[in-house]
Amino acid sequence: MDGILLVDKPKGWTSHDVVAKVRKILWQKTGRKIKVGHTGTLDPAATGLLILVIGSYTRRAAKFSKLDKVYDCELTLGAVSTTGDADGQISYVSDKIPNKNQLKNTISQFIGTYKQIPPAYSAIKIKGQEAYKLARAGRELKMEPRVITIYKIENADYQYPKLNFRAKVSSGTYIRSLAQDIGAKLSTGAYLSALRRIKVGDFDVKDAYKLNDLNMAAVQTEVAKSP
């Protein structure tokens, strides 16, 4: 069995949890260990599109991981988080309430290509170890900036302290870092309080399976459609 499977990852599941579930389905029905991987990590608190690669398609994982992404994002202004999201330790920063024009002008400054500093709590490898493991151990990390592109930010909806928008970004972009950078530019602080991945390249979450609907028949049907 070779192909891809689109899954709508629920909140609270790691990307590896989803991979393990599909591996178990395949093992139970075939009695064989079939390779399964994913093409781009979603944090446990995030939801949305996860592309799984099965069988020989695991060799194509890098191809899918390089595709552009679209996210629905919710930022909370006025505070920061040790992890950049709602799972970290939250600290109050400011009661300053930016107006809509200030928000619009600030957001526009992040459209384009620039060097972004990724969060320490990430799966980026530092000397063979994931950065988040080192950060949890109390290590101070200097994260190297990466060139990323934010193509557009649209559908902005602002009701302080919540700021919602949809962002189309290049592979390698961290929305948690974008949230922190927007908060810093506004002098209010901000963290990512909710995230949903809508698209990866031309693949859309509306075509993805819910975890509760996954079974062998569903996997076979979806994999058969693989490009």
Query: How would you classify the pairing of strands 3-9 and 209-210?
Result: parallel
Q: What is the DSSP string of 52-99?
A: EEEGGGGGGHHHHHTS-EEEEEEEEESEEESSSBTTS-EEE-------
Is 87 a residue of the active site? no
Which tokens is 206 given?
Answer: 């509306």
Backbone angles phi, psi at 186, to 5 degrees: -80, -10
Residues linked to residue 225 through DSSP beta bridges, in sequence order: none
| Active-site annotation holder among 8, 17, 43, 213 | 43
Catalytic (active-site) positions: 43
